[in-house]
């Protein structure tokens, strides 16, 4: 007499079913990872273009208004602001100021401070002020604003500072006549992905790199925006 083969217990899984479930989970996780990576790149690109646009505005402002303009980056607050001055300025070095490198000061103020206190550290005030309209009202859109949502300023490389700045405050300067600094602003997010904004010294345009770029040579293409994924 033939005996009946017992059926599989309810709730049990075959090996094939387990493999299929594992494969589906792997696909879902991979898709989520790529999705988060795409979101990260989008947010970093947005922050990089925000910095590039601010640099272009500062460059145009220095040309049209005949003022010295600067982008100020606050590493503690991860903010960026645009300031300007009608007063002629010079970039004082660390040895001149005996304090933070690369501060912009009124040269007459610097000379007067040296004469009045020749034996004391020279710390003249900066002549820069927030951007204002013709009635003197400060334009809030150019005051300190976050560089991006959950974005941080990782580094600032400029000719007037010997080392890359990674803390405190740093600035990129735009002078009347269309001359600015060959500068690099590095931005990062919580995943430590880095994008870099390189400012061209003659046009104020920017090139965006999707890595921690540090310049070794002069730019060879003016005004190019490059983001090779």
List the alpha helices (DSSP H) in the chain.
15-65, 94-97, 107-116
Q: What is the pLDDT of residue 191?
A: 79
Q: What is the pLDDT of residue 161?
A: 84
Q: Where are the domains of the chain?
A: 15-84+138-209, 88-126
Q: Is the pLDDT of residue 219 over 60?
A: no
Mean pLDDT for 20-32 is 60
> Does residue 165 or residue 93 have the better pLDDT?
165
pTM metric for this prediction:
0.68
Average pLDDT score over the chain: 76
The closest alpha carbon to 50, from 143, 128, 145, 118, belongs to 145
Distance CA 185, CA 75 (A): 11
pLDDT digits (tens, 9 = 90+) for 100-118: 444 555 554 555 555 555 5
Query: In terms of CATH, what superfamily is 15-84+138-209?
Result: minor pseudopilin epsh domain (3.55.40.10)
Distance CA 170, CA 150 (A): 20
Calculate what percentage of the chain has a pLDDT beyond 70. Answer: 62
| Full DSSP string of 2-42 | PPPPPPPPTT---HHHHHHHHHHHHHHHHHHHHHHHHHHHH
């Amino acid at each position: 007499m033939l005996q009946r083969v017992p059926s599989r217990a309810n709730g049990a899984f075959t090996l094939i079913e387990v493999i299929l479930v594992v494969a589906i989970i792997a696909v879902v996780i991979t898709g989520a990872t790529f999705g988060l990576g795409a979101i990260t790149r989008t947010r970093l690109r947005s922050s990089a273009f925000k910095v590039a646009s601010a640099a272009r505005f500062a460059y145009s402002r220095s040309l049209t208004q005949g003022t010295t303009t600067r982008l100020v980056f606050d590493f503690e607050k991860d903010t960026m602001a645009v300031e300007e001055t009608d007063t002629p300025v010079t970039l004082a070095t660390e040895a001149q100021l005996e304090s933070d490198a690369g501060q912009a000061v009124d040269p007459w103020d610097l000379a007067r401070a040296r004469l009045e206190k020749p034996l004391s550290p020279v710390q003249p005030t900066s002549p820069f002020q927030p951007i204002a309209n013709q009635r003197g009202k400060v334009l809030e859109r150019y005051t300190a604003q976050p560089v991006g949502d959950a974005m941080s300023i990782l580094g600032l490389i400029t000719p007037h500072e010997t080392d890359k700045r990674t803390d405190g405050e740093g600035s990129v300067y735009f002078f009347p006549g269309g001359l600015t600094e060959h500068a690099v602003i590095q931005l990062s997010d919580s995943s430590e992905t880095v994008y870099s904004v390189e400012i061209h010294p003659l046009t104020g345009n920017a090139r965006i790199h999707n890595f921690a770029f540090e310049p070794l040579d002069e730019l060879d293409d003016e005004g190019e925006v490059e983001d090779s994924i």
